[in-house]
Amino acid sequence: MATFVCYGGKGGVGKTTLAASTAVAAADRGAKTLVISTDPAHSLADAFEVEPEAGQQVVDDNLWIEELSPDAGQAAYRAIVDSLAAELRSAGIQLDDETVERLFTAGVVPGSDELAAIEALASHTTDSEFDQIVVDTAPTGHTLRLLDLPSVLRETVAAADSLRGQLRRTVDTARSAVFGPAYLFGRRRGNTDEFEAIASRMEDVRALLMDPDRVDFRVVCLPESMAVAETERLIDQLTEFGVPVQTCVVNRVLTDPEPDCQRCRATKRAHREQIERLEAAVPDRRLVSLPAVSPDLTARETVDCLADQLPDVLIPEAASGTQRSQQE
């Protein structure tokens, strides 16, 4: 069963590079690893200096990446709309294709990116081919919508399912009067449908994100006053959602300034002060500082350099990957 590392935080703090570096380190230790980007403005392929492809693509031994398309979310919405439209038609309510399309368009605009992420995560909650999933989440606002979407969609699906149930009862009552009890017996033997399936997938993802044994949600920030303040708020919001935040990562910390650079020394002191402030604000979380990497490196060089510098506490265990290799 796959375990997950999720990197969250505001835009521009280095989540993508950290996710890529963590995945590289995990793959190097033997875990079959997938990095998923849920950010609509993808840069994961850029971090590995490869051309983006649809679906999963291999970039290294034991390492795959996937930049999610909102098409997956749109497909889920389409299934709900089409299922409801079929129920309406079975009840004698005629819907033309244009009306169905309007229903689909009205629902697909908000949340399709987040729903695509839920669909992707759901495919790995129980039976994944990967040992380790690293998730590069979208900036803070998108991430909070992603976490809220299961509850929102549960209500939407419940309302639609209630309407569908009323329609079914109306149709069943009318048709059983004509065809007899045998109709009801055949009608109710159906398999789990798309309404129940998507509700089940959302519950699986919700349970996953709240499971500290399977998910390490890491909030990333820079050692700056505004970033630290936003990080405190994000941790509080994640906690309200029931997501256990175990790790805070302070990225791009100046650790070795030029001895003759007064500005550099001042920056180092300022970074230290912000780290101490964050330590006091989140005393129950693991706090990890990562040094700034040379800006002269290429994107892939930066990923590999940071992977080499990651402390062991940030590198997922490779036990499951080792066991998989031994079994094969």
What pLDDT is recorded for position 192?
Answer: 46
d(CA 92, CA 83): 15
The helix (run of H) or strand (run of E) holding residue 4 is strand 3-8
What pLDDT is recorded for position 327?
Answer: 41
What pLDDT is recorded for position 187?
Answer: 42
Sheet of strand 215-221: strand arrangement:
56-60, 63-67, 33-37, 132-136, 3-8, 215-221, 245-253, 286-291
What pLDDT is recorded for position 178?
Answer: 46
**Phi, psi torsion values for 258, nearest 5 degrees:** -65, 130
Q: Is residue 175 part of a domain?
A: no
What pLDDT is recorded for position 77?
Answer: 64
Residue 70, CA atoms < 13 Å, CB-side half-sphere: 14
Domain that holds residue 127: 3-73+110-163+195-327
Q: Is residue 80 part of a domain?
A: no
Q: Which residue is associated with the tokens 């909650």? A: 125
Q: Is residue 97 part of a domain?
A: no
Question: How far apart, in Å, are the Cα atoms of 246 and each of 195, 219, 259, 271?
Answer: 34, 9, 35, 22
Q: Which residue is associated with the tokens 């590289």? A: 24
Q: Which residue is associated with the tokens 């909102």? A: 70
Closest CA to 118 of 186, 42, 173, 36: 36
What pLDDT is recorded for position 46?
Answer: 93
Alpha helices in the chain (DSSP H): 15-28, 44-47, 71-90, 97-108, 112-122, 140-179, 181-187, 194-209, 225-241, 262-281, 299-309, 319-327
Q: Is residue 283 part of a domain?
A: yes
What pLDDT is recorded for position 249?
Answer: 96
**pLDDT means per 10 residues in the chain (328 residues)?**
89 92 95 89 89 90 86 64 67 65 54 69 86 86 67 61 62 49 41 64 83 91 90 89 90 88 91 94 91 92 94 76 42
Q: Is residue 98 part of a domain?
A: no
Q: Is residue 243 part of a domain?
A: yes
Question: How far apart, in Å, are the Cα atoms of 283 and each of 211, 248, 291?
Answer: 21, 11, 21
**Structural domains counted in the chain:** 1
Give me the CATH number covering residue 272.
3.40.50.300
pLDDT tens string 229-253: 889 888 988 888 888 898 999 999 9
Q: Is residue 264 part of a domain?
A: yes
Q: Is residue 181 part of a domain?
A: no
The residue length of the chain stands at 328
